[in-house]
Amino acid sequence: MTVVALTLAIALTLFVQTLPSLDLTQSNLRSTVILDRDGQLLRPFATADGRWRLPAGAADVDPRYLAMLKAYEDRRFEDHPGIDPAATLRAAWQWIRHEKIVSGGSTLSMQVARLVEPRSERSITQKLRQMVRAVELEQRLGKTGVLDLYLQLAPYGGPVEGVRAASLAYLGREPARLSFAESALLVALPQSPEARRPDRFPVQARRARDRVLDIAAARGVIDRAEAEAAKAEPVPQARKSFPMIAAHAAEQAVAADPDARVQRLTIDKRLQASLETLAAERASAIGPALSAAILAIDNRSGAVIAQVGSAGYLDTARAGAIDATQAVRSPGSALKPFIYALAFENGIAHPETLLDDRPVRFTASYAPENFDLGFHGTVTARIALQQSLNVPAVDLLEVVGAARFIARLRSAGATILLPRDTAPGLPVALGGLGITLTDLARIYSGIARGGSVPTLVRRVQPVIASGAKVDQAASERTITDPVSAWYVADILRGAPPPENALAGRIAFKTGTSYGYRDAWAVGFDRRVTIAVWVGRPDGASVPGLVGRVSAAPILFDAFSRYGGEPEPRPRPTDALVTGTAGLPPPLRHIRRDAPKTLEATLGTPLKIAYPPDGSRVDLGLSDGARAQLALKALGGQPPLTWMVDGLPVSEGMRRQSAWSPEGAGFARISVMDASGASDSVVVRIE
């Protein structure tokens, strides 16, 4: 007997030495999965060879499934070293008695070995190989590692592998919470995956499931009443689609980092799914071939929390595969607030400055009209922006300069496209340029943040727990100063809302491009900025497609789905809140009969001679001294009005004046003459 045992031991040793090293490279290949900010699945991708093999571990699966799996497949899994001696001896005796393999005596570890090194034949040599590999696997990975590998590799029919992919494909949800019937079905299928596929052979699948339930009851995992109740549940008879939430964002993430198997985006799955439904429903109601896009940005962090690229990714009639958040389109009037912000920032206008809305021809070929083809006479800048009047916006753009306006948008990080071989002109005020929904949302978020445009964050780096702070990029750009940003936000919060919506809750602006091709609506509060686009992906005209009617209702609905109470930005302490009569005379009314450019038509152009732009002026403030900064201007038509950070300087009506700073820091100094010409500089006071 000793000789026989020794001979078997030597033979087994020699057999082990003939085996190549255990290679888990192919077994560790997983589907790429895109997760939301809390780790919930947004969209999986098949492996390169077309298999659905999603990462999963014991912690991701319902404990009842694990209990049934061990009771059915390997009752002594926690105790053996990879081989169950009792099961092996039973299988050997049956082989000797029947002269063929009746049962394999396979442990879960041996099944994993077969999945890691698949072989088609059933032989003693192959069985020995599995036994050796099972021991190797347990020594290398431990019980938890072996179980996790089974959960990811077990076959479930067709290209579906692993319990997580199977649960999504047959049950339509993650395997974290399963009923007894669902758990039993997922235990039963890997035994004969093609013959028991519930989408093809539901009768066989049900029979196998019920057998697992009977065994689970017999072995005390569940009681008999629970088993009988579970048998009454129907077996799913069709494959379900894998999740495809934030499909465009997921594709962009994979393209940016194709080697990453797990990527966590800053997307909020709940909000994303709700806004995708909203976009699909509203686009369908507006008309055929129309699509819609929605982008939501967390203003605090710059994180993109929702990116709806179309009204349905798989809707070919609406060209759903096109991501409209990245498409360059004409914004219509949606950029008007930034013209006003630039005018406010440079001391050219104030929300209560009077503007003329009358028929005017700016050039021989350019005489803009309002959307309603009427004119409103003299109005404040506040009313002009809230009503989206065209002539006042073009009037202000002529003052600040179209090239300067475009340069400011670009310096804030927005990609602006102009018609080929053309310089920036006054039509850019009404949408004569191209911009993406993403860039439009970013610069509006800058207004919501007090002028600081966020660098968009799309991935949680590194992967962190839910609720943790999202990494913010180091550099940010500026769209305007804090006071001007507050002026614009305060004005837009008073814009008339769409029908059946509450007024005064969010700051928002709409836009309609020339020819009714694009409808826009962008809104924000202190927390979030949401931008909406509606139109045809091919750019065709859609009569009646108007931002206020088509896009604004979607925007307000999107805010309600975001939830919570809107939070307006607090008023800066240096904001000038007054009526028109309380403004310095040059700010009360911008007149068309007076020159408005820095190059005044009469006399020397107005220019600040001191302090120089970008200079540092040491007034001894760091030592506690109290001193005045001299102000000096050249040219222009008196009287002059001096302003610092948007507030008038007392006694500042002459070419030479002085200002007493309250402390060190940056200051924007502006001067305006009687004709409306202005100049400004930024200096650092120390």
What are the catalytic residues?
73, 333
State both tokens at 419: 């018609």
> 650: how many CB neighbours lie within 10 A of its CB?
11
Residue 647 burial by CB count (10 A; 0-12/13-18/19+): exposed, middle or buried?
A: middle
Element (H, E) at 31: none
Q: Which residues contact 350 (CB under 8 A, 6 or more apart)?
A: 344, 381, 487, 576, 583, 587
Please, what is the Cα angle at 323 between 320 and 328, to 5 degrees? 125
247-284 per-residue burial string, b: 16 or more CB within 10 A, e: under 16: bbbbbbbbeeeeeebebbbbbbbbbbbbbbebbbebbe
Q: Which long-range contacts does 617-622 make (Cβ < 8 Å, 24+ apart)? A: 617/683, 617/684, 617/685, 617/686, 618/686, 619/661, 619/685, 619/686, 621/661, 621/663, 621/664, 621/685, 621/686, 622/664, 622/686
The SS3 call for residue 64 is helix
Q: 425: which DSSP letter? A: -
Give the DSSP per-residue string, 173-197.
Answer: S-TTS--HHHHHHHHHGGGSTTTS-
50, 159 Cβ separation under 8 angstroms: yes
Q: Across-strand partners of 478?
A: 452
DSSP 601: S
Tell the residue number behind the tokens 């490279």, with chain if given.
25
In angstroms, the CA 293 to CA 524 distance is 16
Give how far the C-alpha of residue 149 lies from the chain's centroid of Cα atoms, to the nearest Å. Answer: 33
Q: Which has the closest alpha carbon to 129: 98, 106, 150? A: 106
In what helix (H) or strand (E) does residue 83 lie, and over which residues does it extend? none
What distance in Å separates the CA atoms of residue 433 and residue 422, rounded to the nearest whole number?
A: 11
- What 3-state DSSP class applies to 50? coil
For residue 84, with 0-12 CB atoms within 10 Å meaning exposed, 13-18 middle and 19 or more buried, which class applies?
buried
Q: Is 526 helix (H, G, I), strand (E, B) or coil?
A: coil
Q: How far apart are CA 176 and CA 62, in angstroms?
A: 5
**Number of Cβ atoms within 10 Å of the Cβ of 637:** 18
Closest Cα to residue 27, out of 154, 138, 134? 154
Residue 25 falls in which region: left (phi positive, over 0), alpha (psi -120 to 50) or beta: alpha
Cα separation, 490 vs 511, in Å, equals 19
d(CA 684, CA 675): 29
